[in-house]
Amino acid sequence: MSDWTIGIIGGSGLYAMDALEDAQWIDIKSSWGQPSDEILCGTIGHVRVRFLPRHGRGHRIAPGSINARANIDALKRAGCTDILAISAVGSLSDELPPGHFVTVDQFIDNTKGRPSSFYDSGFVAHVSMAEPVCDRLSKHAAKAVAKAGGTCSEGATYLAMEGPQFSSRAESKLYRHWGAEVIGMTGMPEAKLAREAELPYALLAMVTDYDSWRDDAASVDVGEIIEQMNANSALARKTVEAFCKGLPKKRTPSPIDHALNDAVLTAPEHHDKALLAKLDAVAGRLLRQA
């Protein structure tokens, strides 16, 4: 067994992992509330896997109600070293048709009111999000899609919207003007929280539809999205298997493993002990050194 423990966050339509060996659902408690579901633990090849369905099994949880802090905290408590997130998205680009996969390399966060940080008064920390994903994980993910028989582009800007409604045509055109290429409802604050937990993170986006920016096309059709989502999910399961089996036997350190170095500004004498207790997993490396 290698020293990789990969957290897989499954998006819409991806609620289980067929390729997992010795699989069992484990209830992992978080000090940040209730995660979306239990975590399915097992192995694929030489890699330990911790799978969490983002919306819960049966798609019970709306995008704005997902407790992303609890999800990331629970995956960290489950021993994850890295995270591969998988998300259904709409396309804002002619070059990303339905059925196409793309690795995300940038985000525009247009969500509203979702808790987006583990750190607050009493333990203030600022991590860099200039490069919000782990490039090495993204490259492994793109190769895995190809191995699984799909088509994957590398590098796209993801617009995270609040939802649960889809975009108006005017909004969709605005997001294109901003430079966004895909749109979804769950990539943020998930990616920010993964960085704060020192977990290298990559997001593999599965295109289900064109968003509402095309004047000569009908608006988003939920029935067509579900049909494409189901087709994408079958490919996603094969991709996860190929991704895990394609990872190097040895995990080399990532700079993201130490993202909290020099990030904390609060002087030790002003640390909030109650907040520190909640941070025992996501900031455990730093706290143990203190």
HEC string of the chain equals CCCCEEEEEECCCCCCCCCCEEEEEECCCECCECCCCCEEEEEECCEEEEEEECCCCCCCCCHHHCCHHHHHHHHHHCCCCEEEEEEEEEECCCCCCCCCEEECCEEEEECCCCCCCCCECCECECCCCCCCCCHHHHHHHHHHHHHCCCCEEECCEEEEECCCCCCCHHHHHHHHHHCCCEEECCHHHHHHHHHHCCCCEEEEEEEEEECCCCCCCCCCCHHHHHHHHHHHHHHHHHHHHHHHHHCCCCCCCCHHHHCCCCCECCCHHHCCHHHHHHCCCCCHHHHHHC
Domain assignment of residue 49, yes or no: no
Can you give the pLDDT of all 290 residues of the chain as single tens digits?
679 999 999 977 777 788 889 999 999 999 999 999 999 999 999 999 999 999 999 999 999 999 999 999 999 999 999 999 999 999 999 999 999 999 999 999 999 999 999 999 999 999 999 999 999 999 999 999 999 999 999 999 999 999 999 999 999 999 999 999 999 999 999 999 999 999 999 999 999 999 989 887 666 677 777 788 777 888 999 999 999 999 999 999 999 999 999 999 999 999 999 999 999 999 999 998 86
Domain assignment of residue 281, yes or no: yes
CA distance 149 to 239: 9
Domain assignment of residue 60, yes or no: no
Catalytic center residues: 209, 211
* 27-37: pLDDT as tens digits: 999 999 999 99
Can you give the CATH number for the domain in which 159 is found?
3.40.50.1580
Domain assignment of residue 42, yes or no: no
**pLDDT at 29 (0 to 100):** 97
**pLDDT at 215 (0 to 100):** 85
Domain assignment of residue 168, yes or no: yes
Domain assignment of residue 65, yes or no: no
**pLDDT at 220 (0 to 100):** 65
Domain assignment of residue 224, yes or no: yes
Counting the structural domains of the chain, the total is 1
**pLDDT at 269 (0 to 100):** 96
Predicted TM-score (pTM) of the model is 0.95
Q: What's the domain range around 196?
A: 84-289
Domain assignment of residue 34, yes or no: no
**pLDDT at 104 (0 to 100):** 98
